[in-house]
Amino acid sequence: MNRILDCIINKNTSFVPVWFMRQAGRYLPEFRKIREKNTNFIKLCLNPNLVKEITLQPIKRFDLDATIIFSDILMIPYALNQIVEFKKGSGPHLGNLELDKIINTNSNNFINKLLPVYEGIKKVKNETKDEALIGFVGAPWTLLVYMINKKSPKKDFNFNYITKDKVLVNELLKKLEETICLHINHQVKAGANIIQIFDSWAGLIPQKELFNYCFAPTSKIVKYVKSLKIPVICFPKGIGKNFKDFCSIVQPNCVSIDPEVDPKLIKKETNGIAIQGGIDPKILLEGNDQIKKTVQKYLQIFSGYPYVFNLGHGVLPETKPETIEYIIQIVRDQT
């Protein structure tokens, strides 16, 4: 059994496994080299040989406990026939949302568009054997936000505007729940043995709507993953003091926390559910002393508790690869 499963399923605390969100990405010169020649990001995610190569880049460099497949949460809107483009420096841009077209995408059409993703996973699986291989999806809410807002909601987001057309929202959530499960099923068949659900924009949901837009739709996905006998990690980013309710309602095998979460408090509130992450990725841009202090703080707080070392969000492009190596060494030395 790999170390992450041992931690989040068996609650073995004798070892702290470590991996990083966005461990393959722009901070690695070998990724940038491939990216320069492949300007269409979606096409890159649909190239099984390059998916394999990029996925394995951090594995070749570092002593990591998990491989995460190189792909994107926006492959689902793409497979539902909404245009998805990535423009340099301004993040994802989606085309017009045509509900009919989306609703009429049947499962065969949907899966056919994503076959190269599964082909890429199979190629990675051949190289990684029984090690942790993480497949992932966006949560229904986060995908809904991108599909309706058509770009990152970082600036000017209005909850009432996004959710005003209740028919659209309900139809879309239904279709997303169904296709997210399909996408998970095919990732697992191809070799993924852990699933992480990214709800990157859960923090935009008002408290009184959290159940409807985050807890309830995510619970359905979690139940589905568990029915496949596969462990599931949830990352409901930005929900602050609501992590406790999230854990008791959604019941993931592991919850990934963001930098706003007080690690000492959360440990008392998760009722034994494994915890992952937490450290602000910006810390990695500071000096080694500051980095070491922060890493040791998290390790100390979670000592004796099932904890997977990771960051509170993805590795920033400005991060030095040596910093990742430095952190892994600290984690290894302490446990």
DSSP assignment letter at 85: E
Applying CB under 6 A, which of residues 118, 136, 141, 302 lies at the interface with ligand CP3? Answer: 136
Question: Helix (H, G, I), strand (E, B), or coil: what is residue 135?
Answer: strand
Query: Per rule CB under 6 A, is residue 48 in the interface with ligand CP3?
Result: no
Query: Per rule CB under 6 A, is residue 152 in the interface with ligand CP3?
Result: yes
Task: State which residue has the least CB distance to ligand CP3.
Answer: 200
Give residues 268-307 in contact with ligand CP3 (rule: CB under 6 A).
none
Query: Per rule CB under 6 A, is residue 41 in the interface with ligand CP3?
Result: yes
State the first-to-last Cα distance of the chain, in angstroms, to the nearest integer: 18
Give residues 92-121 in contact with ligand CP3 (rule: CB under 6 A).
92
Do 258 and 238 touch, CB atoms closer than 8 A?
A: yes
Nearest to ligand CP3 of 201, 305 (CB atom): 201
Nearest to ligand CP3 of 72, 177 (CB atom): 72
Query: Per rule CB under 6 A, is residue 250 in the interface with ligand CP3?
Result: no
CA distances from 318 to 29, 88, 284, 332 (A): 11, 15, 9, 24
Could you give phi then psi for residue 18, rounded to 5 degrees? -140, 135
Nearest to ligand CP3 of 70, 305 (CB atom): 70
Give residues 196-215 in contact with ligand CP3 (rule: CB under 6 A).
198, 200
Burial letters 264-273, b for 16+ CB under 10 A, else e: eebbebbeeb
> Which among 180, 268, 294, 184 has a CA at the least distance from the CA of 230?
184
To ligand CP3, the closest distance from the beta carbon of 114 in angstroms equals: 15
Nearest to ligand CP3 of 7, 311 (CB atom): 311
Measured CA to CA, the distance from residue 221 to residue 178 in angstroms comes to 9
Stretch that binds ligand CP3, among 18-26, 250-258, 268-276, 301-309 (CB under 6 A): 18-26
To ligand CP3, the closest distance from the beta carbon of 235 in angstroms equals: 7
Measured CA to CA, the distance from residue 273 to residue 75 in angstroms comes to 29
Phi-psi region of 314 (alpha: psi -120 to 50; beta: other; left: phi over 0): beta
To ligand CP3, the closest distance from the beta carbon of 101 in angstroms equals: 21
Nearest to ligand CP3 of 134, 182 (CB atom): 134
Summarize as ranges the residues that interact with ligand CP3 (CB under 6 A): 21-26, 35, 41, 68, 70-74, 86, 91-92, 136, 152, 198, 200, 314
